[in-house]
Amino acid sequence: MALLFIDGFDHYDPQQPDDFGQPWLARGKAAYLSPQATRIQGRRPSSYALRLPAGSGGGYVKNLDAGTASLIVGAALRVAPFENTYQEPVLLGVRDASAQVAHLVKIGEDGRLRLYRRQSSYDQLLATSIATAPARGWHYVELKVVQGTGSGTLDVRVNGMLAIQLSGQDTLQGGGQLLTAFVGAVPGEPCPVTVDVDDLYLADTAGTLNTTFLGDVRVDALPPQADGSLTEWTVEGASSAWAAVSDGDEASGIRADAAGLRQSFDIAPLPAMATPAIHGVQVTLLARKTDAGPGQVRGLAVSGSQTAVSADLILQEQLAWHTALFEADPNAGSAWSEAALNAAEFGVEAG
């Protein structure tokens, strides 16, 4: 596995209220999200992005699985114009498990990217780019960190161009493995300037697919449009399973009473593109358990005569987003083609 997580911010509103009238804040999809975060117009027509406003709310934080020794984080970013106040806006970064060491990319008042290493709350400037990313416009920024005591590497790209490249680095600095990726602010700190985020991805360098920078990517939300070939879950509050799961509330839904039951859906086709390269498919589920004891589900992909399921997704008592990534077409064992993706079905298997 190399592609770990994607988000285009198209299918949820972080300010949508819960039963107590408070914002769901993405319902757990991020480990932490600024309470002031809002959904705004995205960088493409009919798409959305995430706005992280300046202030004490902080930014967007996503936790990683244990044992991550390399990470690539990329996102389309737009920074509001700001004055030279000697507090440079944070674009994105990564932090280790012990929170001792962070590597982060900031933007200066001259529009150049600056790569820093933080230890003990001190930011050490490692490099400054020649390429610029002026405020007001969208720019795609990527940071790759490979840990090592003397063999670590740090690379930054902007709009598909290599901007900073450092090798032979001590990226560990006595800390542990990587655990957190963040956008807009270092975890626990205010967001210095309003930052808009779209088309976010996280990847490591393992596996055979997506082991390096993906470049300026787009994340498209493809909703269900019909029931698939597997229809073993019970439909509640709607005339069909696909209609029941096409919203973000519990007025309708589907339910499974036994492990192993499967439900698949035909999804909307990809938007028209000349020659799309599909890096992976993420099944995104809004789900909860309805009984005591452990509860889990698995993401499901059906392609041709083959099916694939994800690892267990542990459910909570309250609704929360859960994600399962399928980098490869289970029918071909290689990257998805446009035809295979449009013909495939995706859904859920009860754990």
Spatial separation of the C-alpha atoms in residues 42 and 156, rounded to whole Å: 23
**pLDDT for 84 beyond 70:** no
Closest to 77 (Cα-Cα) out of 47, 112, 42 = 42
Please write the tens of the pLDDT for every residue from 147-204: 999 999 999 999 999 999 999 999 999 888 999 999 999 999 999 999 999 999 999 9
**Average pLDDT, integer, range 224-241:** 97
Spatial separation of the C-alpha atoms in residues 349 and 327, rounded to whole Å: 18
**pLDDT for 82 beyond 90:** no
- 251 burial level (CB within 10 Å; 0-12, 13-18, 19+): exposed
The whole-number pLDDT of residue 51 equals 97
The whole-number pLDDT of residue 67 equals 83
Task: Report DSSP state, residue 208.
Answer: S
**Average pLDDT, integer, range 273-286:** 94
**pLDDT for 207 beyond 90:** no
| 43: phi then psi, degrees, rounded to nearest 5 | -85, 0
Three-state DSSP class for 243? Answer: helix
Residue 98 CA neighbour count, 13 Å, CB half: 10
Closest to 332 (Cα-Cα) out of 298, 297, 308 = 308
**pLDDT for 66 beyond 70:** yes
The whole-number pLDDT of residue 293 equals 87
Two tokens at 283? Answer: 């099944």
Averaged confidence pLDDT in the chain:
93
The whole-number pLDDT of residue 75 equals 98
pLDDT band at 1 (very low <50, low <70, confident <90, very high): low
Two tokens at 70? Answer: 């390399």
Going by C-beta distance under 8 Å and a sequence separation of 6 or more, which residues neighbour residue 8?
42, 47, 48, 198, 199, 200, 218, 219, 220, 221
The whole-number pLDDT of residue 348 equals 98
The whole-number pLDDT of residue 240 equals 96
pLDDT band at 344 (very low <50, low <70, confident <90, very high): very high
Spatial separation of the C-alpha atoms in residues 158 and 277, rounded to whole Å: 20
pLDDT band at 21 (very low <50, low <70, confident <90, very high): confident
pLDDT band at 284 (very low <50, low <70, confident <90, very high): very high
The whole-number pLDDT of residue 43 equals 95
Please write the tens of the pLDDT for every residue from 36-53: 999 999 999 989 999 999
Two tokens at 227? Answer: 């029931």
Spatial separation of the C-alpha atoms in residues 350 and 340, rounded to whole Å: 25
The whole-number pLDDT of residue 72 equals 97
Concatenating the DSSP letter of every residue in 30-89 gives SSEE-TT-EEEE-SSTT-EEEEE-SBTT--EEEEEEEEE-EEEEEEEEEE------S-PP
Please write the tens of the pLDDT for every residue from 287-334: 999 888 889 999 999 999 999 999 999 999 888 899 999 999 999 999
Spatial separation of the C-alpha atoms in residues 246 and 10, rounded to whole Å: 13
